[in-house]
Amino acid sequence: MVDIKKQSIEKNIPSWLTILLATACGIIVANLYYAQPLVGVISSSIGLSANSSGLIVTLTQIGYVVGLLFIVPLGDILENRKLIVSSLLITAIALATTAMTKQILLFLVALFLIGLGSVATQVLVPFASYLASDSSRGHVVGNVMSGLLLGIMLSRPLSSLVADFLGWHEIFILSAITILVLAIVLSKVLPTRKPSADTHYIALLGSMWHLLRTTPILRRRAAYHAGVFASFSLFWTTVPQLLTSPAFHFSQKEVAVFALVGVAGAVAAPIAGRIADRGLTRPATGLALLTVVISLLLPLIIQTSSPIGIAVLVVSSLLIDAGVSANLVLSQRALFSLSPEVRSRLNGLFMAIFFFGGAIGSATGGWAYAIGGWSTALWVGIIFPVFSIFYFATEKE
């Protein structure tokens, strides 16, 4: 077992541990998105009404936000390795329950617990920042976050393909086994880290509002990313509807392939981390925000179901994934440069705020597409990052 106190002297995180943390984050966060492309088939299977089918996705997201606000802050007072492993065990049990139960209420409770336990990712990311030196923190966080982003982007096509070949239950069974194995591996290889803060849990939660009021960089970075993540969620909620419409006639497998192509945008995460380490966070942030706007303008300018139109959509998916990936790493690099004693709380607040932005994007995207089609959804989607850019313009040097 490695002790973080000994490791912190050298502050040189091994490459294998960075890869493991990145892989773990991707595996864990994918659980939030497996059900998204399967809402229809799951609802029919368990007898959930069409009006209530949205709960399949919403409850997992609510569980994640609750975990961000009430579990992630524990990383500032509890031994991190035990907190991570405990969260993963909850997730594995909930995944297995989801796959096996036929009771609607138990199924929905299990979905909530999947989201709650999956916040282990947001204990792992600050954990990686503790192990890194100041000069390499952005690089390390960028690499770990690239794993998390790949998990988000690969989850939807993976669940679609598994459901197509094996059935929807199997994706949850496979994930439960994987999470259980991951919990065992992390319990063996992760360094121990007992935070020095001596704070009671209630006081810890009370301090979060104080942190939000007194940490301008937290408010700014959360607002910037809430805007781009809202667009990201809107795009990936509506583009499958466009591709499966009569204009394109994509099958579910073809939609999965399209989503896989967009994964390449995650390469922006480690690049952004290196740029931040060079002190170029501000110009890189402006470029990331602008990239998201451009990604939504392109399919507005060129609308056709021809191969050219498909190519434009592919470029847009790459750009929006790259812009969101880069901005996320830039934001977390900035936050993790603040006091280590409050790092988990800062990360929990940051993630909760921008995930709320993502929920708004998903909801408004579905509404806009229903009332006005693809163009209306894109115009609505552009509003979010434009507000982020206006707010960014007020940032002082």
What's the mean pLDDT in 31-45?
80
Q: Note the pLDDT tens digit of each residue in 167-221.
A: 889 999 999 999 999 999 999 999 888 776 677 888 888 888 888 999 999 999 9
Q: Note the pLDDT tens digit of each residue in 312-343.
A: 999 999 999 899 989 988 998 888 788 777 87
State how far the alpha carbon of 58 is from the alpha carbons of 181, 304, 316, in Å. Answer: 27, 33, 26
CA 137 to chain centre: 20
Q: What structural domains does the chain harbor?
A: 10-393 (1.20.1250.20)
Amino acid at 178: T
Q: What is the pLDDT of residue 10?
A: 41
Reported as half-sphere exposure (CB side, CA atoms, 13 A), residue 310 has a value of 15
What's the mean pLDDT in 235-261?
82
Query: Which backbone phi and psi does 192 adopt, to 5 degrees?
Result: -85, 140
pLDDT confidence bin for 376, thresholds 50/70/90: very high
Burial of 100 from C-beta contacts in 10 A (0-12 / 13-18 / 19+): middle
Amino acid at 171: I
User: Is the pLDDT at 383 greater than 80, yes or no?
Assistant: yes
Q: What is the pLDDT of residue 2?
A: 44
First-to-last alpha carbon distance for the chain, in angstroms, is 44
Strand, coil or helix: what is 12?
coil
User: Is the pLDDT at 76 greater than 60, yes or no?
Assistant: yes
Q: Note the pLDDT tens digit of each residue in 91-108.
A: 999 999 999 988 889 999
Contacts of 88 (CB under 8 A, 6+ apart): 28, 117, 120, 179, 180, 182, 183, 186
Q: What is the pLDDT of residue 50?
A: 60
User: Is the pLDDT at 37 greater than 80, yes or no?
Assistant: no
CA 199 to chain centre: 29
Q: What is the pLDDT of residue 218?
A: 93
Q: Note the pLDDT tens digit of each residue in 123-138.
A: 898 888 777 777 777 7
pLDDT confidence bin for 4, thresholds 50/70/90: very low
The tokens for 250 are 């994509």
Q: Distance between CA 158 and CA 250 in Å, rounded?
A: 17
Q: What is the pLDDT of residue 8?
A: 42
Burial of 265 from C-beta contacts in 10 A (0-12 / 13-18 / 19+): buried
C-alpha torsion 341→343→345→350, nearest 10: 160
pLDDT confidence bin for 53, thresholds 50/70/90: low
User: Is the pLDDT at 308 greater than 50, yes or no?
Assistant: yes
Q: What is the pLDDT of residue 146?
A: 78
The tokens for 169 are 């239950």
Q: What is the pLDDT of residue 287?
A: 94
Amino acid at 193: R
Q: Do residues 81 and 193 lie in contact, with contact meaning Cβ atoms separated by under 8 Å?
A: yes
User: Is the pLDDT at 279 greater than 50, yes or no?
Assistant: yes
User: Is the pLDDT at 246 greater than 60, yes or no?
Assistant: yes
CA 390 to chain centre: 24
Q: What is the pLDDT of residue 117?
A: 96
Q: What percent of the chain lies above the pLDDT cut of 70? A: 94
Q: What is the pLDDT of residue 397?
A: 60
DSSP of 260-275, one letter per residue? HHHGGGGGHHHHHHHH
Q: Do residues 321 and 262 lie in contact, with contact meaning Cβ atoms separated by under 8 Å?
A: yes
Global pTM value: 0.79
Q: Do residues 61 and 174 lie in contact, with contact meaning Cβ atoms separated by under 8 Å?
A: no
Beta carbons within 10 angstroms of residue 159's beta carbon = 25
- What is the 8-class DSSP label of residue 191? P
| Total residues belonging to the chain | 397
Q: What is the pLDDT of residue 11?
A: 55
